[in-house]
Amino acid sequence: MSGLTDLTLAEARDAVAAKKVSSSELTEAFLKAMEAARSLNAFITETPERAFEMAAASDKRIAAGNARPLEGLPLAIKDLYCTKGVRTTAGSKILHNYVPQYESTVSQNLWDNGAVMLGKANLDEFAMGSSNETSYFGPCISPWRAKGSDAKLVPGGSSGGSACAVSANLCLGATATDTGGSIRTPAAVTGTTGIKPTYGRCSRWGIVAFASSLDQAGPISHTVRDCAIMLKAMASVDPKDSTSVDLPVPDYEAGLEAGVKGLRIGIPKEYRVEGTSPEIDAIWNKGADWLKAQGAEIVEVSLPHTKYALPTYYIVAPAEASSNLARYDGVRYGHRAEGIEDLIDLYQKSRAEGFGSEVRRRILIGTYVLSAGYYDAYYLRAQKLRSLIARDFTEAFKQCDMLLTPATPGPAFAIGEKISDPVTMYLYDVFTVTVNLAGLPSLVLPAGLTESGLPLGLQFIGKAFDEATLLRAGRALEVAAQFTAKPQPWWRAP
Ligand code: GLN
What CATH number has the domain bearing residue 110?
3.90.1300.10
The amino acid at residue 92 is S
- Whether 27 contacts 4, CB under 8 Å: no
User: What is residue 169's DSSP assignment?
Assistant: T
Q: Decide: 181 in ligand 1 pocket, CB within 6 A.
A: yes
Give the residue ranges of DSSP H helices in 235-334.
278-293, 309-324
Count CB neighbours of 417 within 10 A.
16
Query: What's the rounded Cα separation, in Å, for the pair 356 and 95?
Result: 12
Q: Which range, of 19-33, 248-262, 480-494, averages the lowest pLDDT?
A: 480-494
For 251, the domain range is 1-494
> What local confidence, expressed as pLDDT, does residue 402 receive?
98
Distance CA 302, CA 271 (A): 9
Which residues sit opposite 445 in a β-bridge?
458
Nearest CA, atom 10, ligand 1: 128
**pTM metric for this prediction:** 0.98
CA of 177 to the centre of ligand 1 (A): 9
pLDDT bracket for residue 2 (50, 70, 90): low
Residue 149 appears among annotated catalytic residues: no
Cα–Cα distance between 358 and 191 in angstroms, integer? 27
Would you call 78 a catalytic residue per the annotation?
yes
| Ligand 1 site, residue 178, Cβ cutoff 6 A | yes
Helix (H) or strand (E) holding 467: helix 467-481
Cβ of 358 less than 6 Å from ligand 1: no
**Does the pLDDT value for residue 165 go beyond 80?**
yes
Q: Kindly give the residue spans of alpha helices, DSSP state H, lying in 355-459.
A: 357-370, 381-396, 422-427, 433-438
- Cβ 446 under 6 angstroms from ligand 1: no
From ligand 1's centre to the CA of 361, what distance in Å?
A: 14
Q: What number is the average pLDDT over the span 365-387?
A: 96
> Could you tell me where the DSSP H helices lie in 122-220?
160-167, 184-190
Residue among 136, 141, 176 nearest 159 (CA): 176
> Average pLDDT in the 286-301 region?
98
For residue 443, what pLDDT is reported? Answer: 99
CB distance 214 to ligand 1 below 6 Å:
no
179: Cβ below 6 Å to ligand 1? yes
**CA 158 / ligand 1 centre spacing (Å):** 6
Residue 253: predicted pLDDT: 98
Q: What is the pLDDT of residue 79?
A: 99
For residue range 106-148, list pLDDT tens digits in order: 999 999 999 999 999 999 999 999 999 999 999 999 999 999 9
For the chain, the domain total comes to: 1
Residue pair 175/75 in contact (Cβ under 8 Å)? The answer is yes
Residues contacting residue 117 through CB under 8 Å, at least 6 positions apart: 47, 50, 51, 54, 74, 75, 77, 83, 86, 107, 111
Mutating to test ligand 1, I would choose from 124, 133, 154, 158 the residue with most ligand atoms within 8 A of its C-beta, which is 158
Helices and strands counted in the chain (H then E): 15, 11
With H, G, I as helix, E, B as strand and everything else as coil, classify residue 43.
Answer: strand
Give 406's strand partners. Answer: 458
Closest CA to 490 of 172, 201, 152, 227: 152
CA 89 to ligand 1 centroid distance, Å: 17
pLDDT of the residue at 336: 97
Cβ(210) – ligand 1 distance below 6 Å: yes
* Ligand 1 atom index nearest CA of 429: 1
CA–centroid distance, 263 to ligand 1, in Å, is 31
- What is the band of 300 on the pLDDT scale with cuts at 50, 70, 90? very high
Helix (H) or strand (E) holding 117: strand 116-121
- Residue 1 has a pLDDT of 60
Give the model confidence (pLDDT) of 391-419 as tens digits: 999 999 999 999 999 999 999 999 999 99
pLDDT, tens only, 27-66: 999 999 999 999 999 999 999 999 999 999 999 999 999 9
| Residue 158 beta carbon below 6 angstroms from any ligand 1 atom | yes
**Could you tell me where the DSSP H helices lie in 18-159?**
23-36, 48-63, 105-112
Q: Could you say which of 182, 203, 236, 322 is catalytic?
A: 182
**180 Cβ below 6 A of ligand 1:** yes
Question: How far is residue 395 from each of residues 271, 325, 451, measured CA to CA in Å?
Answer: 16, 35, 37
**Annotation marks residue 323 as catalytic:** no
User: Is pLDDT above 80 for 494?
Assistant: no
Which of 78, 120, 196, 232 is flagged as catalytic? 78
